[in-house]
Amino acid sequence: MKECKADAKIETKCLHAGYTPKNGEPRVVPIVQSTTYCFDSTEHIAQLFDMPTEFMYSRFANPTCDAVEKKIAALEGGAGAMLTSSGQAASLLSILNLCSAGDSFISASTIYGGTVNLFSVTLKKLGIECIWVDADASEEELANAFKPNTKAVFGETLANPALTVFNIEKFARLAHQNGVPLIVDNTFATPILCRPIEFGADVVIHSTTKYMDGHAVQGGGVIVDAGKFDWAASGKFPEFTEPDESYHGVVYTRDFGPMAYIIKARMQLMRDFGCYPAAHSAFLLNLGLETLPVRMKQYCENALKVAQMLEKSDKVASVNYPALPGNPYHEAAKKYLPDGTSGVISFSIKGGREAAVRFMDSLELASNVVHVADIRTCVLHPASATHRQLTDEQLAAAGIDAGMIRLSVGLENVDDIMADVTQALEKV
C-alpha cells in the first residue's frame, strides 16, 4: 500500500490517512496493548530521555494513538496532533502550553460550560487569567482586550450549546496582530464541516467524545498544531525559543520547526500530567472517524428538517440553528460551515424551565442524557446540567436561557425523530 496522498479528499483521508500497512501487516490499525517497548542498550534509552523520537512509554505515546493522531492532523490540515484522555484535557493543555502563572489569554464567552469553568475557576487558581469577550464585539473593542501578558485567543467554531458561529478570520487577525496564536475548539463542526486552520487558526482542539467518535463509546480529546505560528518572530514565547532544561537543552523551535507547539505539549505537559488515552480508546475513535463524512452529512440533513418543523410549532418560542435562514449567524454559517451546521439544535419552549422539563420527560425515542453529538437522538437541559455551575450572568453571556433545550438530532429515520418531538410538544 502507498501512503494516503496529502491532497486526497477528506472522505479518503478519514479511511486511509495515518496508517499504511506494509507487506503482511494488519489491514486495520492494530491495538498495541503494551505500556512499554524494548531497546537493546542503556545508551539507546538514555538518548530517548534526551529526545523521545521513538515509542518508549504509554504515558505520552502509543502506536495506535499515533496512527489516529496522524489521521486527525491530516483531516484538519495540521502539522501534527496529540490525543488526550478527554476534551477537557485538550482545552487545558492547549492553554498551559502557552500560559504560565501571571499570564492571561482571551476567550469568547460563548463556549462550552465545562470550558468556562476550567478557564474562570481552575486556571485562575493556577494564576492564569481568562479575559472574556463578546465574540461579536467590534474589532476595535476586541483589540482593547489584549494586555502585554496575553498569550492566546480562544473560541469555538460552533458553540456548545449557544450555536453561535465564531468569526475565525477576525479573531485570527486580532491574535496575530498581537503576536499570539488563535486556538479554536472545533468539536461540533468537525473537520468535515469546517477546517479552522484554513481560516487562520493556529491550534485546533476537539472533544473526540462527540461527533468524531459518534457512538458514545469512548471519551477523548485531541490538540492539532497548524504548524504555522512563528514563535520566534512573536518574541512572547521564550519557552519555545530557549533551551528546555528539563530535556537537556532542547530548543523546540530550533529542533522541531513547525512541530514546536505539539512536540512541546507532549514532551513537557503529557510527560508531567499523563492524560493520554488508552490504545483501545484510540481504536474506537478511529472507527468513528472512518464514517464521519457520511454521518455528518446525514446529521445536518436530519437536523435541518427538525429545525424547520420546530420553527413552525406554536409551542416553541425560538429555534436556534444557524443553517436556518433568518438565524443571526446564517451568513457566518454560509462562510464557515457551507455544508451544514451539525445535528445540534437549541430551542426554547414557551413556558420556560417547567415546560422544557415536561417536554424532555415526555420524549420516547430521544434519550435524556449528559451527552451530545451522538448517533442516537438525545436531549439535554443546559441550565440544569452542563451549565449548572454558571451564574445567571454567565448563562446569559453563554447565550443560554433557563427554558432552552439542546436537541442533538441523531441518525434514526428523521420521520421517527419528528414524530417523537411532535408528541412530546403536544404534552407541554
Ligand X SMILES: *Cc1c(COP(=O)(O)O)cnc(C)c1O
Q: What residue is closest to ligand X based on CB? A: 87
User: Distance (Å, rounded) from C-alpha 262 to C-alpha 256?
Assistant: 9
- Give CA separation, 426 vs 101, 305, 313, in Å: 53, 19, 10
Query: Should residue 406 be labelled a site residue for ligand X when binding is judged by CB under 6 A?
Result: no
Query: Should residue 403 be labelled a site residue for ligand X when binding is judged by CB under 6 A?
Result: no
Instruction: Tell me the closest approach of the beta carbon of residue 384 to ligand X, in angstroms.
Output: 17
**Nearer Cβ to ligand X (163/306):** 163
Query: Should residue 187 be labelled a site residue for ligand X when binding is judged by CB under 6 A?
Result: yes
Torsion sign across C-alpha atoms 292, 297, 300, 305? negative
Which of 16, 151, 195, 210 touches ligand X by CB under 6 A? 210
- Tell me, residue by residue from 87 to 126, as one string, x for binding to ligand X by CB under 6 A and - for no binding: xx--x--------------------x-xx-----------
**Nearer Cβ to ligand X (59/371):** 371
Nearest-10 Cα torsion for 207, 349, 377, 12: -50
Which of 39, 51, 56, 86 touches ligand X by CB under 6 A? 86
Closest CA to 55 of 67, 43, 38, 68: 38
**Nearer Cβ to ligand X (4/163):** 163
Instruction: Tell me the closest approach of the beta carbon of residue 202 to ligand X, in angstroms.
Output: 18
Instruction: Tell me the closest approach of the beta carbon of residue 265 to ligand X, in angstroms.
Output: 17
Q: List, in sequence order, every residue forming a beta bridge with 407; answer none if it has no partner.
A: 345, 379
**Nearer Cβ to ligand X (160/164):** 160
Q: Which stretch binds ligand X (CB under 6 A): 41-49, 83-91, 224-232, 286-294?
A: 83-91
Query: Should residue 352 be labelled a site residue for ligand X when binding is judged by CB under 6 A?
Result: no
Query: Should residue 221 be labelled a site residue for ligand X when binding is judged by CB under 6 A?
Result: yes
Q: Which stretch binds ligand X (CB under 6 A): 81-89, 130-138, 239-247, 265-273?
A: 81-89
**Nearer Cβ to ligand X (142/183):** 183
Between CA 109 and CA 119, with CA 113 as vertex, the angle to 5 degrees is 65
Query: Should residue 213 be labelled a site residue for ligand X when binding is judged by CB under 6 A?
Result: no
Query: Should residue 160 be labelled a site residue for ligand X when binding is judged by CB under 6 A?
Result: yes
**Nearer Cβ to ligand X (214/221):** 221
DSSP 254-301: HHHGGGHHHHHIIIIIIHHH--PPPHHHHHHHHHHHHTHHHHHHHHHH
User: Distance (Å, rounded) from C-alpha 117 to C-alpha 309?
Assistant: 34
Q: Which helix (H) or strand (E) holds 304?
A: helix 292-312
Which of 66, 185, 213, 374 touches ligand X by CB under 6 A? 185
Which of 207, 268, 342, 377 touches ligand X by CB under 6 A? 207
Long-range pairs for 56-63: beta carbons < 8 A, 24 or more residues apart: 58/34, 58/276, 58/279, 59/270, 59/271, 59/274, 59/276, 60/266, 60/267, 60/270, 60/271, 60/274, 60/276, 61/266, 61/276, 62/32, 62/276, 62/279, 62/282, 63/30, 63/32, 63/279
Q: Which residues of this protein are in contact with ligand X, per CB under 6 A?
A: 86-88, 91, 112, 114-115, 156, 160, 185, 187, 207, 209-210, 219, 221
